[in-house]
Amino acid sequence: MAFYEREFIEIRRKNYKMEIVGTLTGSVEREDVRDYMIAFVKKEKRTTVGDTILIIIVWLIAAVPAIGTLFFSNDPNRHLGPGTIALTVVFGLIALLCTVLSGKAHSNSKQLIANADPDSPEQIAANAPDAVIWKMKKQWEMCYSHDLVPLESAVKGQPVFLEDGPLYMNRAFAMKRMNAIEQSMRQREEVLLVEYAAALMKTRAASNGLLTVYLNIDKLGSSVYGHAAGQALGRLLSPSELENIAVFSGDSAATLNGSANEYVIGFSGDGSKLDRIEAILRGDKTLEGLLSGSGICRRETGESLAADGTVRNGELVPPTGHSLSFCAAGFNDTWKENNL
């Protein structure tokens, strides 16, 4: 079984039109992540050495006007004139600026290299998502006619393309490299991918089922009720029971229009797993006392909930580029406290 999995949308382009082939899953083992971390550290070391050499060259260039005048001039009365001094000062300031900027980058790289531990379980887990991208780029030849897009990025409305290279997460930078026609084509492709992802997730929710739990905010007993709700369900559901289950949360539509005071946590994924989760929740008397009148539902509810992430390898992992929500933090904090 793969240590970490990530789903992609596979696309092909033909005659300047994009064709969505479907989805595929990329995965990595722990050894793959170790290889990724080692390769990343080696790259940082090479970059640091290259920057150091470049700074030395910049300072040598800055000193050229003064050195040329003092040591290589044919004038017997060698001295630094105002023009040479001004030129040397300008080049020196530029060299100083480059040194300061490089020093900051070098400091960060040095800290990264010193702290990198390919055998640390925490670092392996933290680097797993990037390692999947790294492995997929190695396995697939990314060109204009063929590309992959992480499904989660399309779900949140910001598709990122692996063909954009190391800066694939920087959409603005990728768009700047394109001419007007290419930008227009990319924008149309993004719209199609977002629509495809939304339809796919809706179909999956309908086929696999959607389990929603309505909690009474007043009974949660906390002003940070999202965190308290995550804790309440985290005490009942272990990470292994929620593995690969997507979690959503937010105020209910009734709460938003002022007719109720309830918070919703939704689970989406494999139907058989949802059956087991529902049985656990319905069988707990403590949770029963926290439920609102809507209770536990196994149907499409029409609620507009935010994605907290997916449970992977013992924790609720937020979508790429998103910080941990209060609800997700509630789950994770409870699991850590109970060593689950």
Nearest in space to 305 (alpha carbons), one of 265, 268, 277, 269: 265
CA distances from 186 to 164, 167, 174, 180, 257 (A): 12, 16, 10, 10, 38
pTM of the model: 0.50
pLDDT (0 to 100) of residue 1: 45
Name the architecture of domain 209-337.
2-Layer Sandwich (3.30)
Ranking 167-181, 199-213, 257-271 by mean pLDDT, the lowest is 167-181
Question: Helix (H, G, I), strand (E, B), or coil: what is residue 314?
Answer: coil
Confidence of residue 229 (pLDDT cuts 50, 70, 90): very high
Which pLDDT value is given to residue 74? 62
Give the pLDDT of residue 4.
79
Separation CA 78–CA 331 (nearest Å)? 75
Q: What is the pLDDT of residue 5?
A: 79
- Domains of the chain by residue range: 4-27+130-205, 32-115, 209-337
